[in-house]
Amino acid sequence: MMKGLTQQTRARGWRLAAVHALGLAPLFWLGINLAWGAYWVNPLQAAIQRSGDAAILLLLASLTCTPLSWWRGWVWIGRWRRPLGLYAFGYALLHVSLYVGVDYGLNWAWLGGEFGEKPYLWYGAGAFLILLLLALSSPHWIQRWLGKTWKHLHRWVYLGALLALIHLGLVVKGDPLKLRGDVWKPLLVGVGMGVVLGARLLRVVIRKLRQG
Ligand code: HEM
């Protein structure tokens, strides 16, 4: 009995370490590359790009947790959804802060001009606002306080992910819909999101069919 409990505690500790290692790996990688001068041509642009990549990949990883826990019966991976989602928000915050605060020095007039010229910024801003709302409402006491509304609110994550995907699709030099240019990133993320959403919809349909 005691041995079983110790093993369980150890497994929980390893899983906790693994999810934080996954969340912190992009920051570590970015730091090492910046320190080694790998991004010497334009370190700020590289940091904006790499933090954006980390945000969208961790968002996708967070969305994958629930379908994976259904499919494999791994209850523990369902618990990774929240920390991975919060890491995704952390990288999105870094991405936006570097762009707005460092690149544009909080010059709102200049930023306003950019938003007028680059529609992809609006999609990014929409995605960021949704992630911000979800992160602010993530503490357990807010979850308890909001009750069912919390669940409805957190379904917005799919809209946030879609907006982030469109943002990425418009940023890259190429046309993801025509498979032309440098489009592998949005394609990969798009297929991942399609699989996750497909799994969710399939589950709803199966439940409905079983009920009646
Ligand atoms: C107010 C919100 C946002 C702004 C102003 C913004 C701005 C930008 C800019 C200017 C770029 C182009 C960087 C360059 O190539 O020089 C970019 C790229 C990107 N952004 Fe955002 N972004 C926002 C929100 C987000 C969010 C919420 C995500 C993800 C969840 C995201 C993910 C990405 C990705 C993946 C790229 C492409 C990076 C690459 O080229 O590999 N962005 N963003």
Choose the residue to mutate in 49, 100, 132 for probing ligand 1, maximizing ligand atoms within 8 Å of C-beta.
49
CA distance 26 to 16: 17
Give the residue among 204, 174, 179, 203 at the shortest CA–CA distance from 191: 179
2 and 9 Cβ atoms separated by less than 8 Å: no
Print the domain residue range for 179. 2-211
Tell me, in angstroms, the distance from the centre of ligand 1 to residue 119's CA: 12
CA distance 3 to 85: 33
Above pLDDT 70, what percent of the chain?
A: 99
Ligand 1 atom nearest the C-alpha of 53 is 35
Q: Tell me the per-residue pLDDT of 8-57, one tens digit each, with 9 for 90 and over.
A: 889 999 999 999 999 999 999 999 999 999 999 999 999 999 999 999 99
Specify the number of domains making up the chain: 1
Tell me, in angstroms, the distance from the centre of ligand 1 to residue 98's CA: 10
157 and 85 Cβ atoms separated by less than 8 Å: yes
The pTM (predicted TM-score) of the whole model is: 0.95
Q: Tell me the per-residue pLDDT of 50-85, one tens digit each, with 9 for 90 and over.
A: 999 999 999 999 999 999 999 999 999 999 999 999
Give the residue whose CA is nearest to atom 34 of ligand 1: 52
Ligand 1 atom nearest the C-alpha of 103 is 10
pLDDT at position 1: 59
Choose the residue to mutate in 39, 41, 48 for probing ligand 1, maximizing ligand atoms within 8 Å of C-beta.
48
